C-alpha cells in the first residue's frame, strides 16, 4: 500500500492487529462482568413468601450466614444451623429439603417466638427442645 506521503507500508493482517490490542482490558472486563453476574445470582432469593426473602442454600452457607446474624444454637458445639430468620432484613435462610425448618422460620417472620432452643423435625414441625419436650411458642 502507498501512504499519502509517498511511503510504502504493509498493513498488518487482521489476526496480527488483534494480538496487538490491549487484551488485558478485554480480559478484565469479561472477568468483572462474570464476577458480578455470579455474585448477584448467588444472592438472589429462591422465592418471596409473605414479603420475606427466602434463600435455600447449602449447609455451610446456611450455618455461616445464620451464626453471624443470630444468637441461636451458639451454645451447642458441633451443631449446624439448619435455618434462621433475620427480622431486620426480612430474610430467611434455610437448607434445601427441610419444609419443617422453613415453616418454623416463617412463624418467626409472623412475629412468633419460642422459649429457649427449639428445633423443628418432620415428626414435630412445631419443634422440640433439646430435652425432647414440645417447644413453647408465643407472640411478641
pLDDT digits (tens, 9 = 90+) for 51-106: 999 999 999 999 999 988 887 655 566 778 889 999 999 999 999 998 999 999 99
Q: What is the pTM of this model?
A: 0.64
Name the residue with higher pLDDT: 31 or 4: 4
- How many angstroms separate the first and last alpha carbons of the chain? 84
pLDDT of residue 60: 92
As a whole number of angstroms, the distance between CA 59 and CA 63 comes to 6
**Residue 93 burial by Cβ neighbours in a 10 Å radius (0-12, 13-18, 19+):** buried
Residue 53 in grid coordinates: 426473602
Higher pLDDT, 9 or 54: 54
Please report how many Cα atoms fall inside a 13 Å half-sphere around the Cα of residue 13, on the Cβ side. Answer: 2
The yes-or-no verdict on residue 26 having pLDDT over 80 is no
67: its cell numbers: 451464626
pLDDT at 30 (0 to 100) = 46
Report, as an integer, the average pLDDT of 119-140: 84
Q: Alpha helices, DSSP H only, in 22-125?
A: 23-42, 59-69, 99-109
pLDDT in tens, 28-65: 444 443 433 333 345 677 888 889 999 999 999 999 99
Amino acid at each position: 500500500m502507498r501512504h499519502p506521503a509517498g511511503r510504502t507500508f504493509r498493513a498488518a493482517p487482521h489476526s496480527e492487529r488483534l494480538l496487538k490490542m490491549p487484551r488485558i482490558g478485554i480480559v478484565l472486563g469479561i472477568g468483572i462482568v462474570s464476577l458480578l453476574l455470579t455474585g448477584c445470582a448467588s444472592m438472589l432469593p429462591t422465592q418471596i413468601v409473605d414479603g420475606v426473602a427466602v434463600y435455600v442454600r447449602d449447609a455451610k452457607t446456611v450455618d455461616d450466614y445464620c451464626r453471624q446474624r443470630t444468637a441461636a444454637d451458639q451454645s451447642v458445639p458441633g451443631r449446624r444451623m439448619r435455618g434462621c430468620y433475620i427480622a431486620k432484613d426480612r430474610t430467611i435462610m434455610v437448607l434445601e429439603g427441610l419444609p419443617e425448618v422453613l415453616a418454623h422460620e416463617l412463624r418467626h417472620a409472623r412475629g412468633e417466638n419460642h422459649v429457649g432452643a427449639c428445633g423443628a423435625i418432620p415428626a414435630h414441625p412445631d419443634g422440640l427442645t433439646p430435652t425432647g419436650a414440645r417447644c413453647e411458642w408465643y407472640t411478641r
